[in-house]
Amino acid sequence: MSFLTEDQQLIQNMVREFAEKEVAPIAAEIDKTHTFPTKTAKRMGELGLLGLTVPEEYEGNPCDNVAYSVAVEELSRVCGTHGVIISAHISLGISPILKFGTDAQKKKYLPDLASGRKLSAFCLTEAGAGTDAASQQSVAELKGDKYVINGSKVFITNGAVADTFIYFAMTDKSKGLKGISAFIVEKGFPGFAVGQVEDKLGICASSTTEIILKDCQVPKENLLGGEGQGFKIAMQTLDGGRIGIASQAVGLAQGALEAAITYAKQRVQFGKPISANQGIQWMLADMATRTEAARQLTRHAALAKDTKDRYSLEAAMAKVFAAEAAMWVTTKAVQVHGGIGYTRSYPVERFMRDAKITEIYEGTSEVQRMVISGNILA
Amino acid sequence: MKKIAVCYKWVLNDADIRINENTRALDMEKCKPQVNEYDRNGLETGVKLKEASGGAELVGITCGLNTESSTKDALSRGPDAVYYLDDAILESSDSATTSKVLAGMIRSLGDVDVVICSEGSSDQYAQQVGPRIAALLQYPSVSYVSAVSLDGDTLTLDRKLEDGAETVTVKAPVVISVSPDVCEAPIPSVKQILSAKKKPAAALTLAGIGLSADAVKPLAAINSVKAPQTSRKAINLSEGGASLDEAVGKLVKQLSTDGLL
């Protein structure tokens, strides 16, 4: 059952049409060749998808977070890479500027990002600082009217294709988490470099890279939210990001479920479609149920973001459930296909590879359980 | 040129039709309504014609059951306004009554210089509504239009016909029926979707356009619709490990038996 408003349904229809007509035909090829989909990323900008939730004054399209979640789901239903491009750009790149930026920062950066003329990325994870964000080795030192930043980040989504980066660095190591600050860094700043490009299991066409800052000079006015505010900015940004990733997971599960249903009705063994076998029927029933449960939890979290100041609990629940549902459903979809499902002849193996990362990035499933238990035990 | 009207139909998405394997009846329960795909080309033709006219008003027009819910979708595809007639009596409307209602709506709007229809709808595909509206309005009718250009109040129209191609010049007012290749129907952007609610959508009534309930009773009734049954012989040419030569021989023999060779 759909509880979507008319606007949300129209956006869903529109994204589905775009995904089926323009993304689905290239999804397997860009996955195989690990090629970033420049053309369709540009089209997402033209269609206004890269400015979802952003006010009109910044060239955005001020829809709610449920509509945004639906859009990420629809893209991921045919291609996980497109889902994460938009999720990283909006939830992680645009959102912190929108929430914590000054008027000048918003006016300078948001129009280019919301219109899709430029892409954004979020630089928190370091080789020695994944879940343990306080172990940041990146350091920012104020010298005159500029911060000089040294450090490197890993696993940065949109790394090689973004122009604007939210970069976290220590401005006062002695303060631990309260010594972390956030900066808006442009790829053209002196000392900025893209490092190693990762060769991944899934979401192969998305750009995942190392970002290296060596004596990178960042104007003082590009400090986001004030010194020491970085950890708070990161955590609140990730709450929103988790809704994006949960939506990606729902889309992957839905895509795999539909593929499995189609295949089960077509594949004939022992003189009848395999969908006539109870073993397959029950598998499909459980896949559909988990997918729908993940969808409702995710849209509930998106609604919480639209209506509440804090929504960490809802976002963590949606993310852990949807990610694990996606992994389970996509694996079962390969099982329904049998041997052919293990090959690239059908999209289910790609959905399965893409699903794995949803249990890991923007907080592992274990971290989500920490957030949930911390909330309910507080 | 003052006003361009594009007629569109609010149809069920035929991609979601299920077929009952026993009765061959169509199950529409999962089908969601949408703007008829062919009419999307008509709406985009209207957008291009409006641009070429230098300021004509572009309106969308529809009638049928639950057409009120079509307006935002239609408005996101370019019209400045939509006029709809939502009446349960039109649920099983045929081409004749649909044309009568649409012609009445167009008359009531006044000053419509160009009426654009698509060649047909995805549900009935009767291909009659455009020419019927033209007859009722006593406008010239140009069908199978594959390209449109405008100079003042004169339209130059390319027609793709079975036995050739024609270029026709016609003065407004006129009804044109466009084929799907007249232009590509773009996917509406999020901005177009969100701004659709700011545009007007006005309800018309049968009484308001001077038609009685009796006047819109369908002349033809569809008693049943069933999916065609395709039967296959299911002959396995390589059965029993037949070689390629044996399989080819078997195929040739079968085709000869069937009178196809």
Note the pLDDT tens digit of each residue in B124-172: 888 899 999 999 999 999 999 999 999 999 999 999 998 999 999 999 9
Q: Do B72 and A14 touch (CB under 8 A)?
A: no
What ipTM describes this predicted complex? 0.92
pLDDT tier, A265 (very low <50, low <70, confident <90, very high otherwise): very high
Chain B residues close to A17, C-beta within 8 Å? 187
For residues A45-71, average pLDDT: 97
Average pLDDT over residues A358-367: 96
With CB atoms and an 8 Å threshold, state whether A10 touches B72.
yes
pLDDT score, position B126? 85
Please list every residue in chain A whose beta carbon sits closer than 8 Å to the beta carbon of residue B193.
7, 10-11, 14
**Cβ–Cβ gap B187/A17 under 8 Å:** yes
Q: How far apart are CA B196 and CA B78, in angstroms?
A: 9
In the three-class reduction of DSSP (H, G, I as helix; E, B as strand; rest coil), residue A355 is classed as helix
Pick from B69, B187, B194: CB nearest A7: B194
> Phi-psi bin for A206: left (phi > 0), alpha (psi -120 to 50), beta?
beta
Q: What's the number of CA atoms in the CB half-sphere (13 Å) around residue A306?
A: 16
Domain ranges in chain B are: 3-216, 231-261
Q: Model confidence at B234, in pLDDT bands (50, 70, 90)?
A: confident
Is the model's pTM score more than 0.95? no
Contact A14 B34 (CB under 8 A): no
What is the pLDDT at residue B218?
Answer: 83
Rounded CA separation B13/B17 (Å): 8
Give residue A77's pLDDT: 98
**Two tokens, residue B101:** 């209602």
Taking the CA atoms of residue A254, residue A258, residue A261 and residue A266 in that order, the dihedral angle to the nearest 10 degrees is -160
Q: Token pair for residue B260?
A: 């196809």
Q: Cβ contacts of residue A243 below 8 Å, gap of 6+?
A: A65, A68, A69, A91, A298, A301, A302, A305, A315, A318, A319
Of all residues in chain B, the one with the smallest CA distance to A67 is: B190
Q: Where are the beta strands (DSSP E) in chain A?
A: 120-123, 139-143, 146-157, 164-170, 180-186, 192-197, 208-219, 223-224, 268-269, 272-273
pLDDT at B32 over 60: yes
Q: For the CA atoms of A262, A263, A265, A267, what is the dihedral angle to 10 degrees?
A: 160
Give the count of Cβ contacts less than 8 A between chain A and B: 41
B91 pLDDT above the threshold of 60? yes
Give whole-number Cα distances, A38 to A8, A34, A43, A89, A176, in Å.
26, 12, 9, 14, 39
CATH label, B3-216, candidates 3.40.91.50, 3.40.50.620, 3.10.20.30, 3.30.830.10: 3.40.50.620
Cα A281 from Cα A264, distance rounded (Å): 9
Round to whole Å and give the CA distance between A336 and A279: 10
User: Across all residues in chain A, what is the average pLDDT?
Assistant: 96
- Contact present, A75 and A87 (Cβ < 8 Å): no
Q: What is the pLDDT of residues A73-118, one digit of tens each?
A: 999 999 999 999 999 999 999 999 999 999 999 999 999 999 999 9
Residue A17: closest CA among chain B residues belongs to which residue? B187
Q: What is the pLDDT of residues A112-122, one digit of tens each?
A: 999 999 999 99
Integer Cα distance of B39 and B41 in angstroms: 5
Residue A54 touches chain B, beta carbons under 8 Å: no
Q: A256-260, B87-91, B195-199, B220-224: which has the minimum mean pLDDT?
A: B220-224
**Cα separation of B97 and B91, whole Å?**
11
Residues of A acting as catalytic residues: 362
pLDDT mean over B32-41:
95
Of A114-123, A161-170, A193-202, B220-229, least confident by mean pLDDT is B220-229
Query: Looking at residue A378, what is its pLDDT?
Result: 87
Report the half-sphere exposure of A265 (CA within 13 A, side-chain side).
7
Q: What is the three-state SS of chain B? A: CCEEEEECCEEECHHHCEECCCCCEEECCCCCEEECHHHHHHHHHHHHHHHHHCCCEEEEEEEECCHHHHHHHHHCCCCCEEEEEECHHHCCCCHHHHHHHHHHHHHHHCCEEEEEEECCCCCCCCCCHHHHHHHHHCCCEEEEEEEEEEECCEEEEEEEECCEEEEEEEECCEEEEECHHHCCCCCCCHHHHHHHCCCCEEECCCHHHCCCCHHHCCCCCCCCCECCCCCCCCCCCCCCCCCHHHHHHHHHHHHHHCCCC
CB A107 within 8 A of CB A97: no
B3 — pLDDT class (breaks 50, 70, 90): very high
A100: closest CA of chain B, how far (Å): 25
Average pLDDT score, chain B:
93
The one-letter amino acid at B254: Q
